[in-house]
Amino acid sequence: MQLFSSKYLYTAVLLAFVQMAAGQSFQFTPNCKNAYQAFMSMKIEEGKACLLKELSSNPLNYLPVIISNYEDFISLTFNENPAEYKLRKPLQEKRIKLIESADHRSPWYLFGKGVLYFQWSAIQIKYADYWDAAWDFRKAFLLFKENKKLFPSFAYNDIFIGSQEAVISTIPSGYKWISKILGMKGNMKNGLNLLSRYIASNNTGFREEAMLYFVYLKNYLENDIDGAAQVIKTYNLDTRNNLLFAFMAANLALNNKKAAVAESILLNRNMSKEYISFPMLDYEMGDAKMKRLDYSAITYFDKYIKTSKSNFYIKDACYNIALCYYLQGKTELANQYKQRTKSTGKTESDADKQAQKNASQPFPQKDLLKAKLLNDGGNNEQALAILLGLKEIPVANQLEYYYRLARVYDELDDFEKAISYYQKTIESGKTSTEYFAARAALQTGYLYEKRGNRAEALRYFNMVLDMDDHEFKNSLDQRAKASINRIRGN
C-alpha cells in the first residue's frame, strides 16, 4: 500500500508538469511548508496530502518536485527497506529532469537539484551503493557552492554547504581517496558556523533539517555533548510529536550514557498511527532498557527483528537478546540466539560486524558485561562497585577490565584514576585487534582537551590515527580527526 501511495504521488507530480512549456516557478507556499514539516515529523501521508493540495490549487509551482523527494529521503534513510530502495531509486532521475524544465534563473533551480543529489547520496550509503553516493555527494557540493556564488543571500544554501564541509573535513583516512578523487575540501569550523548562523537567524524554511544536522555534528564532530543537548532544549525541539527529533534525542542520549533519558523520550513520544512505522524506535528502547539491566529489552529487540526490513542492527539485536538471556542464567535460550546471530541479518554496520564476531566466541565474563552495560547507561556507581568487587581478573580479561575502570572513573570526573587506567589500556592493548586501546587514546585526548592541554590532547588524537588493524578504526579515526581539526581551528 505504501509503494502504491508513493507512485501515486509521483504520478500526480508528473501529470502536473509533463506538458507545460513555460511559466514554471518555485514557490515555497504554506502547503509546501506544511508538507515539508509533515515529512520531517514522519507523517508521510499528511505530507503527501499537502503536496497534492498544492498541485491542485497551484499547478505551475515546481517546489513540490523537491519536497516530494523528502518522502523517499525519510522513509529509505531512517526506515531501511532494500526492496523499496530498488523500486524508488528511478524517481531521483525523473525528479531531476522535471526540475531542469523549470526556471533556471531562480535560486531554487540549482538548490533543488543539489537537495536531490544530497539526499540520494545519504540514501545510497545506507544501501551500500558507495560509488553512486560519492558522486551524488560531489554533485550536490558543487551545485550548492555555485548557487551560493550566484545567490549569496539565499540562506538555504548554508544548511547544506555547512553540513557537507563539516563532514568532508573529517573523512577517515581509509576513505580519504574519495575526497581526493572527487576534488572536495572542507573546513569543519566554517561548516558548523554556517549552520549555527542559519539556526540563529529568523529563517523558518528547512529549519528542522538544519537542527538535525547541527545537533548531530555538534555532538559527534565538536564533541560538545552538553552543547548539542542545549540546542535541543533552547530551541524547544518537539521530541513528542516529531518522531525524527524523538529518534535523534534518544539516540544521542544512548550514545552519551543517559539510558534513563532515552527511555523517557521514547515512552513519551506520540504513538498515533498517523506516523510512519519506525522499527528503530523499538531497537532504541531495547538498548535503553538493556543498559539499565532491564531484561524486558528482549521484547523490544524481538519486535525490531520481526518488523524491520533493514540490513542494519539485526545481528546486533539478536546478539543482545542472547546476552539478556545469558545474564539471567537462561543458558539454553542464550545459546539459541547466539547461534541465530550468525545466520540472520548482514554485516553492513560496525555493530553487526561486532555481533557476528562475538557470536563465534564464548560469552563475556558476566560481571564485566554488567559493568559495561551499567556504565554505558550512566549508572556509574553501580558499575564501579561491580568492578572493584572482582577479586581475580584472568589475563584474557585484563585489557577490558582496565578500559571499563577508566571509562567509569572518566564519567565520575576522577581525572587521575581515569588517566591511569586509560594508560594501562593503551599499553596493554596497543597491538590488539580489539578497539579498547584506540578508544582509550581518544578519551584521553578528550580529557586533556577539556583541561586546556592542547598539546597532550593532539598527541593522543594522533595516537588514535597511528593505531592500525583494530575494530571500529574508521569511526574512531573520524572522531580523532574531527578533534584535531577542532583544536587547530580548521
Q: What is the pTM of this model?
A: 0.89
Q: What is the Cα–Cα distance from 375 to 382, expressed in whole angstroms?
A: 8
- The secondary element (H helix, E strand) that includes residue 36 is helix 30-40
* Residue 463's CATH number: 1.25.40.10
Residue 178 has pLDDT above 80, yes or no: no
Residue 12 has pLDDT above 90, yes or no: no
pLDDT of amino acid 157 = 97
Q: Does residue 176 sit within a domain?
A: no
Give yes or no for a contact between 195 and 163, defined as CB atoms under 8 angstroms apart. yes
Q: Does residue 82 sit within a domain?
A: yes
Dihedral angle computed from the Cα positions of residues 475, 255, 219 and 283, in that order, rounded to the nearest 10 degrees: 90
Q: What angle do CA 341, 342, 346 make, to 5 degrees?
A: 85
pLDDT of amino acid 18 = 42
Note the pLDDT tens digit of each residue in 244-282. Answer: 999 999 999 999 999 999 999 999 999 999 999 999 999
Give yes or no for a contact between 108 and 66, defined as CB atoms under 8 angstroms apart. yes
- The last residue of one of the domains, among 154, 180, 202, is 154
Where does the pLDDT of residue 202 fall: very low under 50, low under 70, confident under 90, or very high at 90 and above?
Answer: confident
- Out of 166-170, 175-179, 198-202, 460-464, least confident range: 175-179
Q: Does residue 331 sit within a domain?
A: no
Residue 30 has pLDDT above 50, yes or no: yes
Within a 13 Å sphere around the CA of 136, how many CA atoms are in the beta-carbon half? 21
Closest among 94, 33, 34, 45 to 65, alpha carbons compared? 94
- The last residue of one of the domains, among 134, 154, 174, is 154
Note the pLDDT tens digit of each residue in 334-352. Answer: 999 999 999 999 998 889 9
Identify the DSSP state of 256. Answer: T
Q: Does residue 346 sit within a domain?
A: no
Give yes or no for a contact between 74 and 101, defined as CB atoms under 8 angstroms apart. no
Note the pLDDT tens digit of each residue in 421-464. Answer: 999 999 999 999 999 999 999 999 999 999 999 999 999 999 99
Q: Does residue 429 sit within a domain?
A: yes
Where does the pLDDT of residue 130 fall: very low under 50, low under 70, confident under 90, or very high at 90 and above?
Answer: confident
Q: Does residue 394 sit within a domain?
A: yes
Q: What is the Cα–Cα distance from 421 to 443, expressed in whole angstroms?
A: 11
Domain with 422, as residue range(s), is: 387-490
Q: Does residue 297 sit within a domain?
A: no
261 C-beta neighbours (distance < 10 Å), count: 18
- The last residue of one of the domains, among 108, 135, 154, is 154
How many domains are there within the chain?
2
pLDDT of amino acid 181 = 57
Q: Does residue 301 sit within a domain?
A: no
The grid cell for 291 is: 543498559
**Residue-averaged pLDDT of the chain:** 91
